[in-house]
Structure 1
Amino acid sequence: MVTNLQISGHGDARFVAVQKAFEQNFTERGDIGAAFCLIIGDQVAVDLRGGWRDAARTRPWEADTVVNLWSTTKGIGAICFAILADRGLMAYDDLVADHWPAFAANGKQHVTIAMLLSHQAGLSGFASAASVADLLAGSAAADRLAAQAPLWAPGSGSGYHAISIGILATELFRRIEGRSLKAFVRDEIADGLGLDIAIGLAPAEEGRRAEIIAPPELSSADIGQLTAPQIAALANPPLDPLLPNSPAWREADLVSANGHSNAAALARLYARFASGQVSARTLAAATAPQIEGVDLVLGVPARWAAGFLLNADGIYGPNQAAFGHSGWGGSFAFADPTAGLAMSYTMNRMGTLLRDDPRDLALIEAVYSCL
């Protein structure tokens, strides 16, 4: 039973169905605290927030509340790489080893940046025993992965690098640009564009963070039969969904999973990116399909671009050109150039479905029903 529910923000009259779906996410689909934003063209059509930042329901979700994004963070990283490509600092068909020679070890010399960002490098996780501390070890973790033999032939298929892509991407990015992804996001997205987006979260911002809430039995290892690529990605080590509530997690530079933001900032980021932040040529290269098929880790069909999840089976609405990323537990952010929109949903109560979270489906279906 939902009591004392307060929803604030605004929505254009034509999107009343979206406002209703957002409210029903609380009254019918279990949300505790959440935000949703829809931008049409350059206008904010819906910007809603409601509920609570904590399980005890004592701290309301405010306009400046931020929450851990899990893999929705990966889309932020993809945009950063596209900015580098647009500036001529790299090309997607560059070999990773051209920028990071040690990466060529054990048969990975032909892996391109596009292959790495589309989860084809065969490095979905550590092949030897690893701890959470290993995942957060920065360059030491990157060196370990660079030395590792791939778990499948690079380029032969995608296998979602759930956490490891963050380790690899920030090391590669630093070698190309000079700054880590965490620093680049701070300097050029948060400060430069005025968007409330960060990799990790500074201690000074702790007071506005939403607590991650999850069923006690939820674990990243809750998928399938666990093949070698799946074990490496999701069970070595298994991830506790409450990790974002720990200071060590928030201090890390992990563009695969520890971004902190809110729906309004993410929708604005995607709207800018899809409508002129980079050249049309760069946008096309960043969002071009790199591989499609049943992902070796996720076990479901996926279409990957250079860091973005492309629309497959209507997860991002009816238009195939939509691109973005979703996060463990239910968050998402994407742009649909065909419809001229960008939208995002962030929340603190994690759902248990790998995809098709009913809260996501309700919001996305409501948006397109109103267009």
Structure 2
Amino acid sequence: MLTLPEGIRGSADPRFTAPVRAFARLFARYVRTGGALSVRLRGEPVVRIWTGTADAAGEVPWQEDTSALTFSTTKGITSLVVHRLADRGLLDYDTPVAEYWPEFAAGGKHSITVRDLLAHRAGLSDLRRVLEQPGDVLDHVLMEQRMAAATPDWTRGLPVYHAVTFGWLLGGLCRAVTGQSMAELYRTELAEPLGITGLSLGRPADDARVAELVGPSLDLTGTRLGKPITAAAVRVPIVGKIISSMHFTDGERALSGPIPELSYSENGAATGVFTADAIASVYSVLADDGCRGDTRLLSPGTTRALIRSTNTSPDPNRLTFWHLGYHPFPTVGAPRALGHMGLGGSGGWADPDSGLSVGFVHNRLDLVRLPLDMTLMSLLLPSVVRAASTAQRGEKATRAA
């Protein structure tokens, strides 16, 4: 095993020295809280490292099994649950949601398909249209009912990010099909078949190893300038829809503090509490033709169709960035990679060409540094891909000899 840089714990294949060093530099010079990186190659772990601290006071060391609130990284995991159901014939992407969830036909939504939900084209992104009280956001069953009763707005058919409602929409759909909540499906469809821990929707009952968030208050809209800026921005057609998909009255309270109230709710768009290795394990299914090692979660046909639709739109007349729950996530040497990022910069990533999967988490949430933080995983990926390419060339040379 590789001798790790000072302050980095875990293990790594010596062929992956470069991404380990990149991770160490990133946290030593810039992030300075805690976090973890996991890399799998054809399902096998080649990097499992962590560093820093897991609490706001900077006193509790990050451990191998420390998990973190990952925000929209959750969407990629939720989407795989949907694909598992589709693979077994319980769902079809182009069937109207109302055929599975009859209540969803209300408000003229009878033509919205499963594919539309996954592609953020349902016209149901605006939180202001479905929240009556700020605390409603914490009740996933209530919000699934609200989504079923809601009427789409003028963005129906357009790719407008359903930042929060995505989770309630797919939660309601999957509940209608299986009778189980999305949190239960995480366990039965993903964690148990893969034999993994550290994959929870909402904070787990034993949450001692969940990292606290570190950063200043998120209450920008309550400031002297924040309120008028937000009020003006929501009136701009597209910009307003983006803001209203994430912002609601008193919403900062649900996200404030080291342990946000939101993290106790079950929302398949935003409240995943994951370890880096759990993310990499799930994404290895997409990286290795539907398998993680000897465990098959998706058929090869479903996996290949999913990857094709992620990289080329299934409907060229309706541009969208999200295809079946993922966005294209290319990097140097991996043009067909896909995945999903989360607020603050966590993420899951898979490259079907190399068989690589990556999970990355940390516990800093600082809106001032957010634009840079959202690039953290992208800064690590090129070194991961180069290391894997070198390793695979070495394996081919050895076999040839």
Q: Tell me the TM-score normalised to structure 2 length.
A: 0.81
The equivalent of 1:362 in structure 2 is 379
Which residue of 298, 323, 340 maps to 1:278?
298
Secondary structure (helix, strand or coil) at the match of 1:39 reads strand
The equivalent of 1:225 in structure 2 is 233
Greater Rg by CA: 2
* Alpha-carbon displacement from aligned partner over 1:75-97 (angstroms, at most 9, x marks no partner): 11010001001111111111011
Matches within 5 A, 1:45-60: 45-60=46-61
| Structure 1: gaps spanning 5 or more residues | 296-300
Secondary structure (helix, strand or coil) at the match of 1:307 reads coil
- The alignment yields a C-alpha RMSD, in angstroms, of 2.8
Q: Distance in 1 between matches of 2:61 and 2:373?
A: 27
Q: What is the CA-CA distance between 1:302 and the residue it aligns to?
A: 6.3
The equivalent of 1:115 in structure 2 is 116
Distance 1:60 1:326, change over 3 A: same
* Alpha-carbon displacement from aligned partner over 1:144-202 (angstroms, at most 9, x marks no partner): 222222122422x2111111111111111000112111011123323332222011123
Q: Distance in 1 between matches of 2:25 and 2:133?
A: 39
Secondary structure (helix, strand or coil) at the match of 1:303 reads coil
Q: Distance in 2 between matches of 1:139 and 1:348?
A: 28
Moved more, 277-286 or 205-214: 277-286
* 1:264 and 1:344 in contact (8 A); partners too: yes
* Alpha-carbon displacement from aligned partner over 1:235-259 (angstroms, at most 9, x marks no partner): 2244458458547534322111111
Q: Distance in 1 between matches of 2:257 and 2:275?
A: 15
Which residue of 291, 304, 309 maps to 2:327?
309
* 1:330 and 1:351 in contact (8 A); partners too: no
Moved more, 161-170 or 125-134: 125-134
Matches within 5 A, 1:166-181: 166-181=167-182
Q: Does 1:257 align with 2:270?
A: yes
The equivalent of 2:190 in structure 1 is 189
User: Which amino acid letter does the alignment assign opposite residue 281 of structure 1?
Assistant: G
Q: Distance in 2 between matches of 1:244 and 1:74?
A: 23
Which residue of 335, 338, 350 maps to 2:365?
350
Q: What is the CA-CA distance between 1:273 and the residue it aligns to?
A: 3.9
Distance 1:83 1:358, change over 3 A: closer
Q: Once the two structures are aligned, what percentage of the paired residues are identical?
A: 31
User: Which amino acid letter does the alignment assign opposite residue 31 of structure 1?
Assistant: R
Q: Distance in 2 between matches of 1:291 and 1:310?
A: 14
Q: Distance in 2 between matches of 1:78 and 1:63?
A: 26
User: Which amino acid letter does the alignment assign opposite residue 208 of structure 1?
Assistant: R
Distance 1:355 1:111, change over 3 A: farther
Secondary structure (helix, strand or coil) at the match of 1:338 reads coil
Task: State the number of aligned residues.
Answer: 357
The equivalent of 2:202 in structure 1 is 200
The equivalent of 1:298 in structure 2 is none
Matches within 5 A, 1:1-371: 6-128=7-129, 130-155=132-157, 157-196=158-197, 197-203=199-205, 205-217=206-218, 225-226=233-234, 227-237=239-249, 238-239=251-252, 242-243=255-256, 245-246=258-259, 248-275=261-288, 276=290, 277-287=297-307, 288-289=309-310, 290=313, 303-311=321-329, 314=330, 316-352=331-367, 353-354=370-371, 357-370=374-387, 371=389
* Alpha-carbon displacement from aligned partner over 1:293-325 (angstroms, at most 9, x marks no partner): 9x9xxxxx96211111223xx4x5543321111
Distance 1:350 1:245, change over 3 A: closer
* 1:198 and 1:260 in contact (8 A); partners too: yes
Distance 1:263 1:218, change over 3 A: farther
Q: What is the CA-CA distance between 1:355 and the residue it aligns to?
A: 7.2
* 1:325 and 1:332 in contact (8 A); partners too: yes
User: Which amino acid letter does the alignment assign opposite residue 192 of structure 1?
Assistant: P
Q: Distance in 2 between matches of 1:217 and 1:200?
A: 20
User: Which amino acid letter does the alignment assign opposite residue 361 of structure 2?
Assistant: T
* 2:159 and 2:321 in contact (8 A); partners too: no
Secondary structure (helix, strand or coil) at the match of 2:85 reads helix
Q: Distance in 1 between matches of 2:115 and 2:41?
A: 29
Q: What is the CA-CA distance between 1:37 and the residue it aligns to?
A: 0.8
User: Which amino acid letter does the alignment assign opposite residue 346 of structure 1?
Assistant: V
